Amino acid sequence: MSTGKVARACKYIENPDSANEELQLSKDGTMNNLFNAYCEGRKTCLKPKAQNSNITYTETTPFMLSSYRFDPRYEIEKEALLSLQSVSTSAVQHLRIKCLNAYVYSDGDDHKSRSISFVTWNDVMLRSHSTEDNPHYVYTVDKDGCKDSAQEWKVTEFALESKKAERLPITDIYVRDVRGEAQHLYIELGKLCFN
């Protein structure tokens, strides 16, 4: 058994730019507790487990996607994720939601009460707009196509950024756009990066 040292995150690698392919890091710096990741510069990035969620619902009250077996996971064990969070100062998680007849985000007052919320790793609710009881935990979108999804599939792309690494990844999504008719969401997890 080797007793060699292994980096805990990409920021500890001498030339992280040369490591854009998958590599092994360690939650404790030893060869015993390895996990796969890849570097984007000094950021340590994880790939999602190959699990996309296709959900059709006819709810009349808001609900958590976990009630439809939505379980967002990345290729890392919990202890290794906690270690990576502890040596990082920020994180960003990317995801795409394809939708048909469903709002997931609104940048105006017209549908903001229907915007989804994300439940973070440490149980904070990220919302589309600040509220009196939740003024700091908001998200933005890179592209919002779902606002025009009444007749055909559209896409909204999210980049959830946090200056506290322990907030990500998300663990659930709270759906507010419920009309008692067939609505469709297809969630694609993207990369999760720590810096």
The DSSP output letter for 129 is S
In a domain, 155, yes or no: yes
In a domain, 186, yes or no: yes
pLDDT in tens, 116-156: 999 999 998 888 877 677 656 778 788 888 887 778 999 99
Separation of alpha carbons 35 and 9, rounded Å: 10
Q: Which of 90, 58, 86, 74 has its CA nearest to residue 185?
A: 58
In a domain, 22, yes or no: no
In a domain, 30, yes or no: no
CATH of the domain at 66: 2.60.120.1000
Domain count of the fold of the chain: 1
In a domain, 50, yes or no: yes
DSSP reduced 3-state for 79: helix
| In contact, 187 and 52? CB cutoff 8 Å | yes
| In contact, 19 and 42? CB cutoff 8 Å | no
Q: What are phi and psi of 20, to 5 degrees?
A: -75, 0
pLDDT in tens, 67-121: 999 999 998 999 999 999 999 999 999 999 999 999 998 766 565 678 899 999 9
In a domain, 2, yes or no: no
Residue with tokens 């990369």: 191
Q: Note down the domain range covering 90.
A: 44-194
